[in-house]
Structure formats: C-alpha cells, structure tokens
Structure 1
Amino acid sequence: MTAPSVQRQPATVRRVAVLLALALLLGGCSTTRFAYQQMDWFAAWWVDDYIPLDNRQDARLQADVRAFRQWHCRHELPRYDAWLADLESLALQPPIRETEVAHLQNRFFKALDRLLARIEPGATRLLSSLSDAQVIALGQAMARNQADKREELLGDDPAGRRLARMNERAERWLGPLTGEQRATLVNWNQGRGPITAIWLEGRGRWQAALMESLEQRHEPHFPSQVRLLLSRDGAARGEAYQTMRADSRQALAGLVTDLVNQSTPAQRTHLTREIRQLRTDFTALSCPAGASAAAG
C-alpha cells in the first residue's frame, strides 16, 4: 500500500501539535511508518507554509521536532499499543457499554494533553522569535485558511456533508454498513445541530487570541499565554464551543457504542484486522537514535 498524497495547507501552532499527535493515526500499512519517519520534514513544511522561517528558526524547529520524536517513541508508542489492544478487546465482546467507550476516549485525550504539553516550550520559542513581518504573514495565512474552511464546511448542506464524512469514517473501520447502522448515523447527525458553525467560530476566536498574544511575545508572561492557547479547555474558543465539545464527545461515545453493538461478525473481523494492522505498524517503527522503545 502506498502513502497517500499530503494535502499542502497552512497550519497554526495548534495544528502542528495535532500533526505530531496524530501522525501515527493516518492509517494503513506503510503510511504510518512513512509519516513517523518523515515527521521532521512534515512539521517544518507545514509551519513554513504559515510562517516564512529564517534559517535559524528552521534549524531550531527541526531540532525540537527530533527531540519530540525521541520522547514520543520512548514514552508514547507503548501506550498507543496498549490502547489499541484494549480497543480490540472491547470491540470483540459486544454488547459494550458507553462508559467503556468513554474511558478509552478519555485515555486518548490524556495522550493528546501530554503531546500538547510537550510541544509547548518549542512553540513558545518559535512564536517569541517571530519578527513583525512574520506575525503579519501568519495573520494573513490564518485568515485565508479560515475563509477556505468556511467555504468548504459551510457550503450547501453542511449537515449532509458531516453525515457523509462520518459514514466514510465508520466504513473505514467496519466495512460496509448495515441499514440499521446507517439509520443510527442519521439519528446521530440530526441531533448535532450547527456544530460545524460553532467549531469554526471557536477556531476564529482562537486565531484572534493567538494574534493578540503575539503582540506581547517578548513579555515575561507570554509562555503562560501559549500554555493557555495549547490547552484543550477551550477557554480561548468561547463558551458555545466548550458546550458543543462536551456534548459532541458524549454523543460520539454513544454513537460508537451503538455501531459496535449493531455490528455483524464480518464487521468485527474487519475492525480487528484494521486495529491489528495499526499495531503492527507501531511495532515496525524505528525510533530515532538515542530513543528506546520501552516506556520510561
């Protein structure tokens, strides 16, 4: 299986965090290994698409990403394998309970918290080193990207697009869906309301908060501002976003529970195969020099 083409698009510092957090979850055969081995290059490429870096900034960024990858390989990869093993065990024993899915969900978000905390020093160094021209370029790039996202996600029938995306994701893990599962997805989608618009509004608030904080990037309190921006509490994105996120997380746990409980033996075989392939990819990953595959 060949690696898919990478969509070239700008990325905020938080998007870089997500890249580093989820590069391993691109899914499928050599794709996972390719993404992990090329993490240094991907991160520098995406950041540079948002901010034209000078040579010193680029070298510092790549050094930070290499250090991150060493830490990630040593401390996080074993956790991922254990998480996937628990996911496989749960999925193979329906009926499952929503509380069990929520527990796995919470473990995933805790892993994301660790990743965001780990990149915080590097993100602070990069942002505090920006020139006025680079800050202006960042603001312009984020505005363009936000406009593109709004056009992409809030065009004709955003709820229909959301349902299509979720159907695609469900089929990626379960294979062809049954009529009952498709009806479950329709019911889930009807209860979500204007979550895409709320997400975009929160995203815009976050970008505005980042630009405001950059006006004080040379002040002693700037690192605490970056910490707030990188946290998942959603404070910078507004109350509507925070409420939507909490509701969506609970609704997603319920959806996953229903889809697994409605799954056929063939679908569970498909899901097991996907999970085991991802675990195999993790096992096959080579760590950077100086990193051990054992958790520390």
Structure 2
Amino acid sequence: MTPALQLGRRIIGVLFACLLLAGCSALKLGYNSLPQLSYLWLDRYLGFDDEQAPQVRQALEELHRWHREVELPRAAELLARMEGMAGGELSAQQACTVAEAVRDRIEALAARAEPAVLRVALTLQDAQLERLAQRQARAAQEFRREWLQGSAAERLDRRVEQFEGHAKRLYGRLDPAQRRLLRERLQAARFDPERILAERRRRQADTLDTLRRVRAQADDPAEARRMLQGLVERFDTSPDGAWRQDARAMREDNCAVFAALHNTTSADQRQHAVQRLRDWRADLLALSVSP
C-alpha cells in the first residue's frame, strides 16, 4: 500500500473509530489529535530525520485543515444517506454503495496528500527503507497470526466477533437468532486469508521498489510523481486479475451478510441505528466548523 493510501485509511479509520465511541468529546479529542497521531504512526514506519520531521508535521497539519473543511461535511452527507437507508429493508448492492463511498473518501484524501508524500519520498534514505521493510514484514506476521493460525472454527469465531461488534454499535444488542444468522452467513461467505496476505505482500514489495526508484528521480520530479501515481493505480486495480475477482467476490459477500443481518432487525433496532447515525452526523458537522 502506498504511504498516501495507508495514511488515508489510517485517518478515516481513526475518524470512524471515534464515531463508534458515540461521544462528541471523544470524537473531538480523537479528531483534533489526528496530525500528532498520524505523525507518530508514520514515524514508526520510516523514522524521520531532523529535516524531514518538520516538513511531515506541517504537511499533516495542512492536510488536517483541508480534511476538516472539505471532507467532514462529505462524511456527514454519507451518514445522512445511511440514515435514510437504515429505517427500511436493505439490499446487498445498497450496502456496497456505502463501502464504495468510504473508499472514494480515502482516495480523495490520498490524492490530497500526494505532493507531500512525493517531497518526503525523494529524501528517503536506505536505512529508512529498510525500516519500512521490517515494519511491513511485522505487519504480515501479525496478519498471519490473526487469520491463518488456529482452526477454521477459531477463525470463524474471530470474524463473527468482529462483525458482531460493529453491528452492536449500530443496532444495539443482537438477539440469539441474529447471532446464529450472522455465523451461518459468514461461514458461507468467501474469505481467503492466504490470498489476502499474498496481495498485501505484493503491494508491500511494489511500494518498496517504487520508493527506491522514486528516490533516484530527484532531478526529474515529474517522473517521480508518475511513478507514485502508478503505484496508487496498482493498489487500486491490482495487476493480478485473479485477485481482482476474488476481492470483488469477498466484498460482495460481506455486503450481503450485512444486508441480511439488517433485514432481520426490529423496529427498535432500526430506530437505534437511525438515531446513532443522526448523532454522529451532528457531531461531524459541529466539528467541521469548530476545531
């Protein structure tokens, strides 16, 4: 994954994690701390030197200001769409449109971050790229421990627990029938952690190779930018056609699982979801105009 896309996912992830805490004060604290949190996360991967550090901090502050002014209102619009959908029946296709909208916001954030990423990429040293490789290897090991070790039943338990945790934050407590349905649908859904890990490793190797080639283009910034853009395109559309089909199938199955669960929810659970989404939207709009 490119540094820009990684950062975009990280920022969106923190934002939605704060939303799931369902408290405006927690949201404000988490969101206002994003430049510092993002810097610490990036620094763990690259170990910025004394010249790079202030550039990165300034770029993150500028990105945060833009995100507050431009992207928070768009996130609020997405929550309004979800609120309108939450009160009725839901199709798998509708669920996937929400996931695609989130992906669009990540890509917009990554595009905004691209010039700053390029400036830093041109200054990376061998030791920093080696540090990045080590962090990538550690992340792959963590994924393997979580999703490739243990029995199939244990891995299914983890998926059910993860999915149920998200559902409970939206709908409140699930009843036994809903938990059974969730387990049955997830057991039938396509999920191939070996293929996921293989694609992650391809992206990691591609990222390292591209950053090394970008660094060699210090005298030709236009070519360096083209290289970074190509990396983003290969992340968005993998050159592995079989993976593209597998990934699409897994996304569609996840959307179908969520829609099936939603369609079993009671009137009270749907009202709980509507109110939760309404509260989150209000929090985002307030935060977008008031740091």
Name the TM-score class by shorter chain: 0.7 to 0.9
Tell me what 2:228 maps to. Answer: 226
- Provide the C-alpha distance between the structure 1 equivalents of 2:90 and 2:131, rounded to a whole number of angstroms: 49
Tell me what 2:114 maps to. Answer: 120
- Provide the C-alpha distance between the structure 2 equivalents of 1:99 and 1:137, rounded to a whole number of angstroms: 41
Q: What does 1:61-76 align with in structure 2 at a 5 Å threshold?
A: 61-76=56-71
Query: Identity of paired residues, percent?
Result: 24
Tell me what 2:78 maps to. Answer: 83
Query: Which deviations, in whole Å up to 9, do the C-alpha atoms of 1:111-169 show, x marking residues without a partner?
Result: 22211211122222222210111111111221122212211222213233222211222
Aligned AA (2:116): G
Q: Is the 8 A contact 1:159 1:189 kept in 2?
A: yes
Runs of 4+ aligned residues of structure 1 deviating over 4 Å after TM superposition are 286-289
Give the CA deviation at 1:76: 1.3
Tell me what 2:141 maps to. Answer: 147
SS in 2 for 1:130: coil
Give the CA deviation at 1:267: 1.1
- Provide the C-alpha distance between the structure 1 equivalents of 2:137 and 2:76, rounded to a whole number of angstroms: 38
Change over 3 Å in CA distance of 1:109–1:145 after alignment to 2: closer
1:204 aligned onto 2:201? yes
Change over 3 Å in CA distance of 1:96–1:273 after alignment to 2: same
Which TM-score applies when normalising by structure 2?
0.86
Which TM-score applies when normalising by structure 1?
0.85
Give the CA deviation at 1:250: 1.6
Tell me what 1:180 maps to. Answer: 177
- Provide the C-alpha distance between the structure 2 equivalents of 1:90 and 1:131, rounded to a whole number of angstroms: 49
Aligned AA (1:171): K
Aligned AA (1:17): G
Query: Which deviations, in whole Å up to 9, do the C-alpha atoms of 1:240-280 show, x marking residues without a partner?
Result: 43223211222222222222211012211221232123123
Residue 192 of structure 2: which of 192, 195, 212 is its match? 195
1:57 aligned onto 2:52? yes
Q: Note the residue ranges of structure 1 that are not aligned, 5 or more in a row.
A: 1-10, 290-296
Tell me what 1:247 maps to. Answer: 249
1:111 aligned onto 2:105? yes
Residue 98 of structure 1: which of 92, 99, 122 is its match? 92
- Provide the C-alpha distance between the structure 2 equivalents of 1:123 and 1:224, rounded to a whole number of angstroms: 13
Q: Is the 8 A contact 2:182 2:257 kept in 1?
A: yes
Residue 7 of structure 2: which of 12, 16, 38 is its match? 16
Q: Note the residue ranges of structure 2 that are not aligned, 5 or more in a row.
A: none
1:235 aligned onto 2:238? yes
Q: Is the 8 A contact 1:213 1:222 kept in 2?
A: no
Aligned residue pairs, count: 277
- Provide the C-alpha distance between the structure 2 equivalents of 1:286 and 1:107, rounded to a whole number of angstroms: 19
